[in-house]
Amino acid sequence: MDPRTRQSIEAYDAAAEAYQQRWWRERPLDAVRAFSRLAGRGATVLDAASGPALDVRPLRDAGLVVVAGDRAPRAMAIAATLHPKKPLAVWDFRRLPFADATFGGVWAPAALQHLPRGEMRAALGELRRVHACGPVFVSFPEGRGDLDPLEDPPAGEVHVTRVSEDELRALLLDQGYREVEVERRADPARRPGVRWLYGWGRLLA
């Protein structure tokens, strides 16, 4: 693992409780609604890098069955106290413990951004491996940096890979996703010079 990726995981893990308290009220609920509509009520979906389960409740409240995990163990311990009856696990989403074509949707905002650009295609390929049908949702900061430092309060300094609109679209199309769309979004933390790209795609049954 790239040491910058490891440092980011450790920063989020150390700040997991503060991060959950800071961000649980500010989830991308419009994206949750769009994702759930595409997946269909009752679909079992993967929350690939859930952190302290910030999106488990919104996804569940939208009618989805959520299987969530993260590489950060303290974040997952906090998630387990918040959702004791939900399927939660510590995992590396680059090597998921699931059979091929398991899920009816893949939810992975702000996940792949912590990998070097050279690892993104393989990591997205692993998410695609376990994806049977329905939507995929990913997000990245917009730009061209490769694991550049970024302040992400309250975790502090983490490292992120920024992508262009064309690059994100190509990543999704290369994995066989269709109906691919990329939209620009403002930064919810209002950091100067930071803008987000939301990437959508679908697998047809």
Tell me the helix, strand and coil percentages in the chain, rounded to 5: 35, 30, 35
Asked if residues 24 and 54 have their Cβ atoms less than 8 Å apart, the reply is yes
Q: What is the pLDDT of residue 26?
A: 80
pLDDT tens-place string over residues 135-172? 999 999 999 999 999 999 898 999 999 999 999 999 99
Q: Output the CA torsion 148→153→156→160 (10° steps).
A: -20
Binning pLDDT at 50, 70 and 90, where does residue 60 land?
very high
Phi, psi of 132 (to 5 degrees): -95, -45
Question: Is the backbone peptide bond immediately before 154 cis, with ω within 30 degrees of 0?
Answer: yes
Q: Which of 70-79, 82-91, 121-130, 151-160 comes out lowest in average pLDDT?
A: 82-91
Position 165 scores a pLDDT of 97
Number of Cβ atoms within 10 Å of the Cβ of 25: 7
Residues 170-200: pLDDT tens digits? 999 999 999 999 999 999 888 999 999 999 9
- Euclidean distance between CA atoms 11 and 108, whole angstroms: 19
Tokens of 91: 């995992």
Residue found under tokens 């109906």: 179
Please tell me the predicted confidence (pLDDT) of residue 136.
Answer: 98
| In the chain, % of residues over pLDDT 70 | 100
Question: Which is nearest to 55 in space by CA: 89, 74, 84, 31?
Answer: 31
DSSP 8-state code for residue 142: B
Q: What does the angle CA 160 – CA 109 – CA 56 come to, to the nearest 5 degrees?
A: 135
Q: Which domains does the chain have, with CATH numbers?
A: 3-203 (3.40.50.150)
Two tokens at 162? 């920024």
Burial of 117 (0-12, 13-18, 19+ CB in 10 A): middle
Average pLDDT, the chain: 94
